[in-house]
Structure 1
Amino acid sequence: MNFADQDPALRPLLDRVLSADDRARIEPLLTELGALAAGEMDRQAALADANPPRLRSYAPDGERVDEIEYHPAHDRLAEIAFERFGLAAMSHRPGVHGRPDRAPHTVKYALSYLYVQSEFGMACPLSMTDSAARVLRLFDPDRYAAEIAALASTDPAVRATGAMFMTEKQGGTDVGRTETVATPADGGAHWTLTGKKWFASNPGADVILTLARVPGQGEGTRGLGMFLVPRLRPDGTRNAVRIDRLKDKLGSRSIASGEVTLDGAYATPVGELTSGFRQMAEMLNVSRLSNAMRATALMRRAVRESVAHTRQREVFGTPLFDQPLMRVTLLPMILDAEAALGLVLEAAARLDDADAGDATAAGLVRVLTPLAKYTVCKRARTVTGEAMEIRGGNGYIEDWVNPRLLRDAHLGSIWEGSSNVIALDVLRCLRRQAAHRTLAATYGGRAGALPLPAGKRLAARWEELAARGDRLLAGPADEQEMRIGRYADELTRTVMATLLLEQAAYECEGPSPNGRTLLAAHAYLHLLADPDALPRTALHHLDALADGGCRVPVAVAEGAA
């Protein structure tokens, strides 16, 4: 098996969104990683999940060591991610896979999407390492050139991992209540940090970015500075970062999360200390896009498992896949996984543009990221749950992958901000930047320009959504908060519908037109307008939608409009 070969949407999407050079360069990586994900990685991931990390607080002589011991399966999965494929490195330096420049975010997320279909947990330290390198590059590149190089290395002898310690017990989402205190030391050459962090993923990281209160700087988030806390002090001794215990988590069990005490820990400032919260928000926003990518990967794996099971499982003499109710169950799962992948790659492409200085793209990324995190992570919980039920009793048994997919899916809606927190962040984008208008202008314009009748309907839907956003913002503040969740979900789904239709237009052109994605787009639009709809043509051609093994005539797809 090969997860890349079994994905009907991935390669056609990359054909459209990547340059010819990038597309040619990624192809052998897709083939190799797709095979690993379906084979060795899947076996190692099951082992790592069943053998979670353990904390060794003390050496035999009583010395405090705070070391985390991992199963060899974890180490092999880390080797594949960090070293063989350079998933944390490729956005930060040239040379990875022979590239003359840094890889686009679209390439990184496409490969990471394949990786996560087998191993979800490792994507946490991957994301934080990638994000830490990004923050240091953006805000303090000269001071931290060595740390950036280590975070972006694929050499096992020198590579470093990153972490973000933000959550405190009394604060949680309310970062302004952070109590960790920074104190200048050695005449201001460095600082010491004292406080407790309640949720610290990858607590044994080499490079930790955290927030601490700077004396005299003010209250709330204004008073917070960002600091780099290394695992080792400059003299090579262990820093005063005490891992109090590891969390016994529902999912993401292959990697460690813990409670940490900073006991006068050596630290150095990152960028301007008055900008700590803004700098951490940059790290958080990119990590939220990674969350959406991981949720998309979980959905795709769940869909693949469900399609394979229903094709071989016969009930009353008929394969489950061919039974009407099962087809109605599978169709929205297939559509949501495909639509989510389009959204993740779109956000990644706009992030590439924003990094190149495009202000409009930066505004889009600012709202697309929480939208994707909100809707895609919520939907992954439903899709993985449906997949477990589809497999029946076996789906509830740990011998199969379904329990792990379900456990991991629930983390996406909590990690880096729960759904309500994310919805309020979308509301903030609407209030401050009129982001609903930006979305409507961008994607409504793109929909209206498509040579497909459905494009005009989508453009009209965008006009209506923009007007609804205006009405929402005109209401009382408490009503805005009560309504934003549902409105954010509709914004996200309409972006995804637009991207599906855009991809469909691309695939319907050229020397070998295929109406498969157009059929998927029409079915998605029907269900968006009416959740009780029965897209009969799509249900009839479910084989093509499930794995792309057969083509759909464009005329057939057009008739499904």
Structure 2
Amino acid sequence: MNYQHPSSKFTMPTEQLASREATAERSKKLAPDCAGSNFFEMDHNLQALLLQYIDGALLDHIRPHLDSLGELCGNELHDLADASERHPPVLRQRDRYGRDDETVEYHPAYQRMEEIAYARYGIHAMSYRPGVLGWPTKLPPIVKYVFQYIFSQTEFGLMCPVNIAGSSSELIRRYGSDEVRTRFVDRMLSQDMNQLYRAAQFMTEKAGGSDVGAAELVAARDGENWRLWGEKWFCSNVSGDVVVVLARPEGAQAGGKGLGLFAMPKHLADGTRNAYRVVRIKDKLGSKSMASGEVRLEGAVAYQLGDLNRGLKQMLEMVNSSRVSHLARAAGMMRRCLNEALVATRNRNAFGKSVIDHPLMRRQLLKLMVPTEQALSALLFTASVSANEDQPDAQKILRIMTPICKYRACRDNVTVATGSMEARGGNGYIEDWPNAKLVRDAHLGVLWDGTSNINALDAIHRSIKKEQAHLVLQQDLETRLKRAEGLPGQFRTRLENGVRQAFAFAAEVAAEPDNERFCRLAAGQLYHAVTMVLLAEEGLRAAATGGDARRLLLARFVLEHRLQNNAPLNIASLKWEEAAIDLLLDDGPISLDRATTLLVA
């Protein structure tokens, strides 16, 4: 897209230089943003990869829906998200008669976004019940995550309750009594806004955030049910109708093994409010559209889910879904940030030429592109594996992929969002433009569902040391490289060595507790090794059918600048990059011959 006005000069009498006409003429020198675009249509990389990851009949069925969502994201949803950000939810403690009610009031723009996500597309339900979007069976997880990826390019906050809806309904379906399942599950997955039960999860307490085992909320037996007493400190979607919550039954042991899992309704069966109060709405840095709050529980009725001593383990069964959702959101936001940077630099002139034509800016744009494409490959691969999570090998791969992706992709999102803001310049720092919101929301991704440290520790100390999950993943990558026909032998060897070194280092870090300080480095190396192989394989597959081989070049950038990050500092060794950057910043397809030549240049 190039909106740059063809003439950068205009002639006008001096006394008219401050006129409205003159002001409007000078404004043509400002670069636009992506508003008005179709976010699916402009995402050529996603469209090409869907051919590799989704069955043809299913892809043909969902493509019109992806296209319509992409159109909404650049137009109506874009405006709704902006309005919701400027008009965050408000807590009304009492009604006009002085009755305690704690009502969270949402702006009409947010309510309309809910209609799009829940009613029109059924993103919350599509992989949990048949019939969504007219598909006769449950849609595979990859479809849900692709919709989240596109939606998140415009609105990040709402995807939290949307994803919670599916995972919470699944916990109730698995572990709730027949009565509890009948009461809640169907309505949690409804696309009728008048019937829908919105879901929430209240986990964090003052005593512990990532350390969930330190929770102090008490569950006291009350006949067949339970009553909850205490506080929850961070409550996502605090106005939800059905809340999944962890609490410690009276007399239970300390730590995570003493926690039970419960479903707590906002309203009791007779329509009265349950005994908990929303104390306040958090004044968050980002994700302002979605209400996060603090809650005081004063004997709230709750229903037991599963075994009382397995509450945390049951909750963690949904951690894969949650982490892949975070990966989808990070990948989508990075795509938006990259697109914003490209539009800004293609349509802004400086020092006599377009900003994108300056060599240093071209290199910086590649530093935004590489992690963006890594995240997309990681998302589609991990989401595909999710469809087979009942199989042992898939379980192992998910066990290690989800924490390393949550760690690295969410951190990359912060860097890419910041780089995109810088590419736009001063306007990127102004709330009239999309970059400020993207930067704020990116920072939340590294906090939700475990910080960077928590995810890195989970990947190295648990999935590798305790469960040996890395062995299955490494074997999978090595198999992919062996069958990669058309890959130059010299480059294949470099990829194989990169994989071997990354996994050996991670295993070495996992072997000794004293190596904990290297967990983040090891987790990042694993992420880069995986995405490097995926990019190479995807590039070869595309080229085999006459498509674009650009992902092969991206694989080399990952190898040399992210996995090894020790390329020799001499110009001759970096000469190949100039030609590669020119090809990657052009929208035209890259031939296999051209790509493979540069792989060994």
Calculate the TM-score normalised by the size of structure 2: 0.89
**1:518 partner letter:** L
Runs of 4 or more consecutive aligned structure 1 residues displaced over 4 Å after TM superposition: 531-539, 541-544
Secondary structure in structure 1 of the residue aligned to 2:288: coil
Distance 1:485 1:456, change over 3 A: same
Higher Cα radius of gyration: 2
Partner of residue 365, structure 1? 398
Distance 1:144 1:520 in 2: 47
Would you say 1:209 and 2:244 are equivalent positions? Answer: yes
Q: Structure 2 residue aligned with 1:230, among 261, 265, 284?
A: 265
Answer yes or no: is the 8 Å Cα contact 1:543–1:550 preserved in 2. no
Partner of residue 37, structure 1? 73
Q: Deviations over 1:419-462 (max 9, x none)?
A: 11111111211111122322211212222321113344322322
Partner of residue 337, structure 2? 302
Distance 2:365 2:541 in 1: 25
Distance 1:396 1:150, change over 3 A: same
**1:89 partner letter:** A
How far apart are residue 337 of structure 1 and its match?
0.6
Partner of residue 395, structure 1? 428
Distance 1:127 1:200 in 2: 15
Partner of residue 472, structure 1? 509
Secondary structure in structure 2 of the residue aligned to 1:228: strand
Q: Structure 2 residue aligned with 1:444, among 478, 481, 503?
A: 478
How far apart are residue 58 of structure 1 and its match?
0.4
Greater mean alpha carbon deviation, residues 492-501 or residues 444-453: 444-453
How far apart are residue 16 of structure 1 and its match?
0.6
CA RMSD of aligned residues (A): 1.6
Distance 2:198 2:245 in 1: 14
Q: Deviations over 1:193-217 (max 9, x none)?
A: 1110000010110110001111233
**2:201 partner letter:** M
Answer yes or no: is the 8 Å Cα contact 1:223–1:274 preserved in 2. yes
Partner of residue 498, structure 2? 461
Would you say 1:144 and 2:181 are equivalent positions? Answer: yes
Distance 1:314 1:531 in 2: 34
Partner of residue 180, structure 1? 217
Would you say 1:420 and 2:453 are equivalent positions? Answer: yes
Partner of residue 260, structure 1? 295
How far apart are residue 525 of structure 1 and its match?
2.5
1:324-403 aligned within 5 A:
324-354=359-389, 357-403=390-436
Answer yes or no: is the 8 Å Cα contact 2:543–2:591 preserved in 1. no
**1:446 partner letter:** R
Q: Deviations over 1:465-518 (max 9, x none)?
A: 23223322333x132x111110000001111111111111110102x2432222
Partner of residue 198, structure 1? 233
Partner of residue 92, structure 2? 56
Q: Structure 1 residue aligned with 2:592, among 550, 554, 559?
A: 554
How far apart are residue 543 of structure 1 and its match?
6.3
Would you say 1:135 and 2:174 are equivalent positions? Answer: no
Secondary structure in structure 2 of the residue aligned to 1:268: strand
**1:16 partner letter:** Q
Distance 1:341 1:116 in 2: 13
How far apart are residue 124 of structure 1 and its match?
1.0
Distance 1:551 1:536, change over 3 A: farther
Q: Structure 2 residue aligned with 1:100, among 125, 136, 156?
A: 136
**Number of equivalenced pairs:** 553
Q: Deviations over 1:164-197 (max 9, x none)?
A: 1110001112211111111111x2x211111100
Would you say 1:545 and 2:555 are equivalent positions? Answer: no
Distance 2:560 2:211 in 1: 40
Unmatched 5+ stretches in structure 2: 1-36
**2:411 partner letter:** K
Distance 2:116 2:511 in 1: 51
Distance 1:204 1:321, change over 3 A: same
**1:527 partner letter:** H
**2:204 partner letter:** T
Partner of residue 275, structure 2? 240
Distance 1:445 1:195, change over 3 A: same
How far apart are residue 523 of structure 1 and its match?
2.9
Distance 1:97 1:537 in 2: 46
Q: Deviations over 1:375-411 (max 9, x none)?
A: 0000100000011111111000000000000000000
Would you say 1:431 and 2:470 are equivalent positions? Answer: no
Greater mean alpha carbon deviation, residues 523-532 or residues 82-91: 523-532
Distance 1:259 1:216, change over 3 A: same
**1:516 partner letter:** R
Greater mean alpha carbon deviation, residues 465-474 or residues 70-79: 465-474
Answer yes or no: is the 8 Å Cα contact 1:543–1:549 preserved in 2. no
Distance 1:245 1:305, change over 3 A: same
Q: Deviations over 1:255-304 (max 9, x none)?
A: 10000011100100011222100011123332122112111111110100
Answer yes or no: is the 8 Å Cα contact 1:522–1:560 preserved in 2. no
Distance 1:119 1:213, change over 3 A: same
**2:71 partner letter:** A
1:316-327 aligned within 5 A:
316-327=351-362
Q: Structure 1 residue aligned with 2:196, among 150, 154, 159?
A: 159
Would you say 1:65 and 2:101 are equivalent positions? Answer: yes
Answer yes or no: is the 8 Å Cα contact 1:8–1:545 preserved in 2. no
**2:550 partner letter:** R
Distance 2:112 2:471 in 1: 46
Partner of residue 2, structure 1? 38
Would you say 1:273 and 2:308 are equivalent positions? Answer: yes
Unmatched 5+ stretches in structure 1: none
Q: Structure 1 residue aligned with 2:124, among 79, 88, 113?
A: 88
**1:121 partner letter:** G
Q: Deviations over 1:89-123 (max 9, x none)?
A: 10111010111100111001111111110011111
Answer yes or no: is the 8 Å Cα contact 1:327–1:539 preserved in 2. no
How far apart are residue 367 of structure 1 and its match?
1.2
Secondary structure in structure 1 of the residue aligned to 2:208: coil
> Once the two structures are aligned, what percentage of the paired residues are identical?
38
Secondary structure in structure 2 of the residue aligned to 1:56: strand
